[in-house]
Amino acid sequence: MLLHKEGRGPLIGFAITLIGLNAFIALFAGGTFSYVFLAISALFYLAVLNFFRYEPRKHSDGPLEIVCPADGRVVVVEETEEKELLGCRCLQVSVFMSVFDMHVNWIPCNGVVEHVSHTDGSFLSAHLPKSSTDNERSAVIIRTEGGDRILVRQVAGAIARRIVTYPEVGQHVDINQNLGFIKFGSRVDLYLPLGTKVHVKVGQKVQGNITDIATLPR
């Protein structure tokens, strides 16, 4: 298990803060309280360290294959109207990431990046359906070799406050590459063309760059 690069800054900041607080308490309070606070600080730091863990993964790719973009649990599998960017009816598959999941996001298919955008918004619970349209979010559209447009949307939640997205417009991307990282949250939405065969169901536990989400119709 490795540490993701997005965790370096926050972890250094947390470490400095906790060291300072523990030094202050040891100096002015001391005794049992300082030992209890030290133990709590250590547990808190380990929890944050776990959040930024990273596990390199390899998946055999195929031209019609859609691979899971995040660790978590499937909360939506439905046909919907995607009005904001695609302007058509699609199949939506959404994965909710709890604070215990690895928060790296993965490229779900091979293709060329056609669109990248970030939209400010609210910080509603990512379990809510309207979080996809009301919350802070980033969107990436990938055009596959077969001409299908796949929309991947990173959605912030009630705790998340920063979305990091790596691809740039015009870049060729592949399965096994990182899409980005959502710090302390929370959901990734996939919008797939109608006719796509979905292989997961609501409530299913999935893993980024491991679980096969769907197969494109062409």
If one counts the domains in the chain, the total is 2
- What's the pLDDT at 161? 59
168-213 tens-digit pLDDT: 999 999 999 999 988 766 889 999 999 999 999 999 999 999 999 9
20 and 49 in a single domain? The answer is: yes
Residue 42 belongs to domain spanning: 2-54
Residues labelled as active-site residues? 186
E runs forming strands in the chain: 2-3, 53-54, 65-67, 72-82, 88-96, 104-106, 111-119, 137-143, 149-155, 162-165, 172-173, 178-183, 187-192, 197-198, 205-206, 212-215
Residue 60 placed within a domain: no
49 and 100 in a single domain? The answer is: no
39-81 tens-digit pLDDT: 999 998 888 887 788 888 888 767 789 999 999 999 999 999 9
Separation between Cα atoms, residue 2 and residue 24, nearest integer Å: 32
Query: Of the ranges 76-85, 98-107, 131-140, 196-205, which one carries the lowest mean pLDDT score?
Result: 131-140
139 and 87 in a single domain? The answer is: yes
124 and 78 in a single domain? The answer is: yes
